[in-house]
């Protein structure tokens, strides 16, 4: 289903803002956009200043991640509004404002020929709960938590034109197909081959228990064609609870084209964890639309459950783990190297004690081009923030760049724009 009138009005607004932003010469972050010989790539680090009041993130740049320091004081580009989320695609850094139900700003940056961040566009968009690169687009989904209006809206944002090029709707109650009327809520978005896979869990969306479910022991993935976003099939498994978590990716594709599905095993009902399925990994082989026999019980292997993961390559992940299932939204402070090919886990050494860790950068960490090192942002209880380099082969971590005065929220990298 579509709403052309809404889409066209939004498209006109975005296009006008895009061309205005590109032609502006008085923006502090603007640049000429042309590449100058000798200009190096830059690491992009976002950080929330450590203050008593809620403040916006700053976008900082650094030449390296393994040593030195940068500061939020007097440096970087201040974002408009709090609760920012980030994604990098097509050598462009996107900053999205979570508008708490209201429209939020989307800002895009590239690295210009002088090694500075150039703001390409800044426009208003619907606040979304899932977004990810798909082909040359960013696919965004605004997801309902209201059983009386169970419609999710998807939008295709072109990373080339920086405009919305298509939109559509998904009836999440029809997708869930539950006798009690629960609706589907997508945990994230993953491109698998030329399809889009949307893992989802079903929620009651009522009774002051919006994320509670009476179906805690199942995993579901809706498979859509792309770019048409037509539903093709639903993949189902009852060996795990749902895949991913709220605002957390749970599905990753390896170099062979196989998709590995990570379940935290934290489905709740009325605030209590009710699933009897452990945190585990399952698999969908390339070219198929069903789970195969692969099963890796992470709780049995580690004594913990997964809260997030980062894919390094060659079947190896950095798993971020937590010991006790007290909440569906807790973030882990333990790190292990997970080898899904050999079904092994290795604790990462060299990190601070978990009691000294306050915040871990979960979904916006950086992996080196060869997959040998994963860079994780960690803020300690003393408010000092560092980038830690995790050597995947040896499962050892080394403290690197310090981000003074702020909590690290994302780590990325951009090359100079052509």
For the segment 328-358, what is each residue's pLDDT rounded down to a tens digit? 888 999 999 999 999 999 999 999 999 999 9
Q: Is the pLDDT of residue 80 over 80?
A: no
Alpha carbons 147 and 409: distance in angstroms, whole number: 33
Range 230-235 average pLDDT = 98
Range 129-137 average pLDDT = 96
The 10s digit of each residue's pLDDT in 352-368 is 999 999 999 988 999 99
The pLDDT > 70 percentage for the chain reads 89
Cβ burial 41-57 (10 Å sphere, 16+ → b, else e): ebbbbbbbbeeeeebbb
At residue 56, the pLDDT reads 81
Contacts of 248 (CB under 8 A, 6+ apart): 187, 188, 307, 308, 362, 363
Cβ burial 108-133 (10 Å sphere, 16+ → b, else e): bbbbbbebbbbbbbbbbbbbbbbbbb
Residue 149 or 8, more confident: 149
Mean pLDDT rounded to a whole number for the chain: 89
At residue 327, the pLDDT reads 83
At residue 99, the pLDDT reads 64
At residue 24, the pLDDT reads 35
CA quadruple 63, 66, 69, 75: dihedral positive or negative?
positive
> Tell me, what DSSP letter sits at residue 163?
S
Alpha carbons 267 and 240: distance in angstroms, whole number: 10
At residue 390, the pLDDT reads 98
Run of H or E including 14: helix 4-23
**20-24, 42-46, 272-276, 333-337: which has the minimum mean pLDDT?**
20-24
The 10s digit of each residue's pLDDT in 5-30 is 334 334 434 443 433 334 333 344 43
């Amino acid at each position: 289903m579509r709403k052309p009138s809404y889409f066209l009005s939004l498209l006109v607004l975005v296009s006008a803002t895009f061309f205005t932003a590109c032609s502006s010469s008085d923006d502090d972050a603007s640049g000429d956009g042309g590449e100058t010989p000798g200009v190096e790539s830059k690491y992009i680090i976002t950080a929330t200043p450590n203050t008593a009041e809620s403040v916006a993130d700053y976008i900082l740049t650094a030449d390296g991640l393994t040593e030195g320091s940068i500061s939020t004081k007097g440096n970087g580009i201040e974002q408009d509004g709090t609760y920012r989320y980030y994604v990098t695609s097509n050598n462009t850094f996107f900053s999205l404002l979570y508008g708490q139900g209201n429209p939020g700003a989307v800002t895009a940056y590239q690295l210009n020929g002088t090694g500075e961040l150039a703001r390409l566009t800044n426009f208003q968009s619907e606040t979304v709960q899932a977004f990810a690169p798909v082909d040359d687009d960013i696919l965004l989904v605004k997801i309902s938590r209201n059983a009386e209006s169970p419609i999710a809206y998807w939008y295709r944002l072109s990373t080339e034109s920086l405009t919305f090029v298509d939109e559509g709707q998904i009836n999440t109650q029809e997708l869930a197909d539950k006798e009690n009327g629960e609706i589907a809520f997508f945990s994230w978005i993953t491109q698998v081959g030329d399809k889009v896979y949307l893992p989802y869990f079903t929620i009651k969306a009522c009774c002051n228990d919006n994320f509670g479910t009476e179906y805690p022991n199942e995993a579901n993935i809706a498979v859509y064609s792309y770019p048409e976003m037509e539903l093709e099939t639903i993949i189902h498994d009852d060996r795990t609870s749902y895949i991913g978590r709220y605002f957390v990716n749970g599905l990753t594709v390896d170099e062979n084209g196989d998709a590995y599905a990570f379940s935290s095993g934290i489905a709740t009902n009325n605030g209590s964890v009710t699933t009897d399925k452990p945190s585990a990994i399952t698999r969908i082989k390339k070219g198929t639309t069903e789970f195969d026999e692969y099963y890796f019980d992470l709780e049995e292997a580690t004594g913990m459950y997964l809260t997030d993961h980062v894919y390094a390559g060659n079947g190896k992940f950095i798993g971020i783990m937590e010991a006790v299932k007290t909440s569906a939204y807790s973030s882990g402070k333990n790190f292990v190297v997970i080898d899904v090919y050999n079904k092994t886990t290795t604790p990462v050494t060299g990190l601070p004690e978990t009691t000294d860790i306050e915040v871990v950068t979960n979904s916006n960490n950086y992996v080196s081009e060869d997959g040998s090192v994963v860079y994780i942002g960690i803020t300690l209880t003393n408010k000092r923030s560092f980038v830690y380099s995790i050597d995947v082969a040896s499962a050892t971590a080394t403290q690197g760049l310090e981000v003074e005065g702020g909590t690290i929220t994302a780590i990325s990298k951009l090359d100079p724009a052509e």
